[in-house]
Chains A and B, each alone.
Chain A
Amino acid sequence: MTKVFNSVVCTICGCLCDDLEVTVENNEIVKMKNGCAVCEAKMVHGYKSEERILKPHVRKDGKLVPVTMDEAIHKAAQILTDAKYPLLFGWTSSASETQHVGVELAEELGSALDNCCSVCHGPSVMATQEIGIPTATLGQIRHRADLIVYWACNPWSSHPRHVERYTAFTDGRFEKSEFKDYVQKLKAKSGQKKVAAAIRRTRVRYQPPPRPQTALVEAPPQTLAKDGRRMVVFDVMKTMTAEVADYFVQVEPNRDYEIFGALRCLVNDQELDVDTVGGVPVDYLKEIADVMVNAEFGAIFFGLGLTQSVGRFRNVELAIALTRDLNRKTKFVVSPMRGHFNVTGANTVFAWQTGYPFALDFSQGYPQYNPGEFTAIDLLRRGDNDATLVISADPGAHFPKGAMQNMVKHPLITINPDWNAISRLGDVVFPTQWCGIEQGGTAYRMDSVAITLKKVVEAPKGVPSDEEIVKRILEEVKVIKANKAEKEDTGKQVLQETAAPKKRGSKTLKKEL
């Protein structure tokens, strides 16, 4: 039985490409069209790999053993209620419906609540809270942008279809695709290679053209001044994205802040008294500033290179400030390249329920926000929390070792579809459905456009959705708490009853006296 699904949404990165064509045979995806390599890896191979968790497991005597769902739920709820200060972390590969229940669970527990945003674009969110952000949906950029700047990101690897769907290689109403140019460039390149090979064959020693000695950066090419779409890449190393760009600027590591500052000066018609900034000659920066100011509509996309390098949210702040300055001269927008497919959703859902996007704490009965205090890494580094629930994320592979070592000291509950690093470390391990393959739901694209995920195959028997698991844990927590309160009440009553005769006794004593 073959069934073809159209307009299926990819659940890899923040691009949320929704044009996949998925062929399903006997409840198994056999073919996928339009998606990128990473999408293919997940949708056609990865989701049905042998690494799949099919049953709940609980660690007994150091070994994970399969248990019933009821037992796992009870165990998890028990761990969470017993803990003084649990941390609920992850959420970014879950649908927003699950995130929604997650906030309620955190509130009920009075726990800390954080999502993967804190280790990817948390600083971007903080920068936005500092100075706002001029941004746009991706289609606006597709239709209008004639200058695309990728800063400290490599969409070719992390968001493989970003360039082809939303920016330089796509046709918009007012701007045409640059794809042809790119093909020509490729041809020219392979031509060069052929020439080089021919030269080698004739045993003439090939001499590369001389490069400027002052910096690693190549001089801006003529193509920057052309009409139509241009693409500029700033990065510390030459990536694949940089190769397809019209111009690549190699920045020294941790020097983005300075370059933004220099560009802001140049855009605002200031003079710089130095020759190079962050490894880039000021003359080149001047040229880029010129291109920026003369663009009809420019878009800056920035990645983790800014948020994880020295300066962190201050780097992003300057990227936004540069964009603001440019808006006085032309139209410019800036946007973070959000990673997990629903990390934007986590920020969005948390924000509408509590006012805050991540780094939350409910220990006071109301939501509190403080990155650096309630962010997962900081809680772990200080050893503040005494139990952790990780859902749809893999800090096992993506947190620094030190933080993880503290996490595994305390009970760990995991909710993930497969045996990733964190599931392997868990004490209570839940199986769950693949969001966007075996269950539907809602996800928010990097520009916070909500898109409905599709269910294309049935999940293995007995594997529930993560929403259901979190809901059941929440119910169980409520039950345990109610029982506890009851016990305390009866305990108090017993105390009072035992205390009462004493009182009476003292009264009678008084009387007697």
Chain B
Amino acid sequence: MVEQKLRVTLITGRTIEQGVGKEMGKGSPEYFDSAAVCFLDPVDIKRLGLKSGANVKVTSPYGSVIVKAKRYTRGTMSGMVFMPCGLWANSVCGSNTDSIGMPTFRGFTVEVEPAPDMPVLTLDELLKQEFGK
């Protein structure tokens, strides 16, 4: 049974690929490939009727972004999605800090849905869209 949307908990964090990518340069293809992604449990990927590498839209109360879905094979994490730190993940993170300076970076609910017709924006496109510069 394929579902339209999944309500899941978003975790953001580091991956070594994203680490390498950011050091190669924020405009580098390595960075794009490693940061504009969202890792899902194979079970969840199936539930959305997706293939690994398909575009998905991640939406939170703070915004939404299109990224590539990837299968997370290391262990089970059903009900959770993981996005590497970076511009794409931050498009859905909130600025609320609970008055201690730390924004809402992880552990909040997002919706993930397939977005086959929408492109994943590059760094420059995303900057232009969000900040007009």
Contacts and interface: CB of A to CB of B under 8 A. Distances in A.
Interface stretch (A1-9, A75-83, A322-330, A401-409): A401-409
B99 A372 contact: yes
Nearest to A40: B20
B124 interface: yes
A12 interface: yes
A304 B13 contact: yes
B90 A243 contact: no
Chain B contact residues: over half helix, strand or loop, or mixed?
loop
B27 A51 contact: yes
A172 B30 CA distance: 37
Given A38-B23, A160-B16, A304-B13, A400 B62 contact: yes
A405 B130 CA distance: 7
Contacts of B28: 46, 49, 51
A358 B9 CA distance: 30
Contacts of A375: 97, 100-102
Nearest to B12: A308
B25 A46 contact: yes
Contacts of A119: 101-103, 105
Interface string B8-43: 010111111011111111111010000000000000
Contacts, number: 200
Interface string B61-101: 01100000000101111001010011100111111111111
B23 A400 contact: no
A220 interface: no
Nearest to A237: B77
B107 interface: yes
Contacts of B99: 372-373, 378
Nearest to A372: B99
Given A38-B23, A397-B86, A425 B133 contact: yes
B49 to A, nearest CB: 23
Contacts of B13: 154, 157-158, 304-305
Interface string A98-123: 00000000000000000000110011
Nearest to B17: A157
Given A237-B72, A404-B130, A123 B86 contact: no
Contact of B97 (A157, A236, A372): A372
Given A236-B77, A305-B106, A400 B16 contact: no
Interface string A389-428: 0000010111111111100100000000011110011000
B104 interface: yes
Residues of B in contact with A, size category: 35 or more
A39 B102 CA distance: 27
A134 interface: no
B75 A157 contact: no
B85 A398 contact: yes
Interface in A155-205: 156-158, 160
Contacts of A420: 25-26
A237 B80 contact: yes
Contacts of B107: 253-254, 308-310
Interface string A371-383: 1110111101100
B97 A381 contact: yes
A41 to B, nearest CB: 4
Contacts of B95: 377, 380-381, 399-403
B77 A240 contact: no
A335 interface: no
A157 B14 contact: yes
A169 B74 CA distance: 21
A408 B131 contact: yes
Contacts of A12: 19, 23
A380 B94 CA distance: 12
A60 to B, nearest CB: 13
Given A38-B19, A421-B87, A401 B77 contact: no
B62 to A, nearest CB: 6
A419 B27 contact: yes
A144 interface: no
Contacts of A376: 101
A26 to B, nearest CB: 22
A399 B86 CA distance: 8
B76 A307 contact: no
Contacts of B54: none
Contacts of A397: 22, 26, 85-87, 90
A118 B101 contact: yes
A313 interface: yes
A421 B123 contact: yes
A250 interface: yes
Contact of A239 (B21, B74, B104, B133): B74
B127 interface: yes
Nearest to A243: B74
Contact of A157 (B19, B96, B101): B19
19 contacts: A38-B19, A41-B21, A46-B28, A122-B100, A157-B18, A216-B76, A240-B16, A248-B75, A304-B105, A305-B11, A308-B12, A375-B100, A377-B95, A394-B26, A397-B87, A398-B90, A401-B92, A402-B62, A419-B26
Interface of B: 9, 11-16, 18-28, 30, 62-63, 72, 74-77, 80, 82, 85-87, 90-107, 123-124, 127, 130-133
Given A49-B24, A307-B102, A424-B123, 10 more contacts: A46-B23, A154-B13, A154-B14, A157-B19, A254-B107, A381-B95, A381-B97, A394-B26, A401-B93, A402-B63
7 closest A-B pairs by CB? A238-B75, A375-B101, A372-B99, A42-B23, A402-B95, A41-B23, A51-B25
